[in-house]
């Protein structure tokens, strides 16, 4: 079966950096769009990044643009989210997702489907 295992979350001070990883099994990340979502306390889940399988195009909402970077290591079948200059409002549970729809140049930038696989979530807390 498909499994996504996340790691790298934790407590970090404002202005600090953190890198999340998501290791996939049962599914090759070579052939699907992948991305990251987060859910802050009292907020709806939102997409914070995705990357297309077709041409490697990436999407970042304005809230994280310039601070977050998504990348893949196909040899390790792992996707990463590098987060810099972290702010308290970045606090939340972060989820990786594979086999979604990433369309950076369309109105709907990222969407999930019935076939999308999800990680278990990892907590990121930005606080002094």
- Per-residue buried b or exposed e for 5-28, using 16+ beta carbons within 10 Å of the residue's own CB: ebebbeebeeeeebebbbbbeebe
CB 20 within 8 A of CB 119: no
In percent, the amount of the chain with pLDDT more than 70 equals: 100
Q: Is the pLDDT of residue 6 over 90?
A: yes
Confidence band, pLDDT 50/70/90 cuts, at residue 115: very high
40: helix, coil or strand? Answer: coil
DSSP per-residue letters across 67-121: TEEEEEETTTTEEEEEE-S--GGG-EEEEEEEEEEE-TTSSS-EE--TT-EEB--
Give tens-digit pLDDT for 28-85: 999 999 999 999 989 999 999 999 999 999 999 999 999 999 999 999 999 999 999 9
Instruction: Give the model's pLDDT for residue 41.
Output: 87
Six-digit token string for 21: 């990883």
Instruction: Give the model's pLDDT for residue 66.
Output: 98
| Phi and psi at residue 26, to the nearest 5° | 75, 5
Other CB atoms within a 10 A radius of the CB of residue 84 amount to: 14
Q: Which residue has the tokens 């999340």?
A: 20
């Amino acid at each position: 079966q498909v499994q996504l295992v996340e790691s790298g979350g934790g407590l970090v001070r404002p202005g600090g950096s953190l890198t999340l990883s998501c290791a996939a099994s049962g599914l090759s990340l070579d052939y699907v769009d992948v991305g990251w979502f987060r859910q802050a306390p009292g907020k709806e889940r939102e997409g914070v990044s995705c990357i297309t399988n077709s041409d490697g195009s990436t999407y970042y909402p304005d809230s994280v643009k310039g601070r977050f970077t998504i990348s893949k290591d196909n040899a390790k079948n792992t996707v990463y989210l590098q987060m810099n200059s972290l702010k308290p409002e970045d606090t939340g549970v972060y989820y990786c997702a594979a086999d979604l729809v990433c369309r950076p140049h369309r109105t709907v930038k990222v969407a999930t489907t019935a076939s999308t696989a999800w990680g278990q979530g990892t907590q990121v807390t930005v606080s002094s």
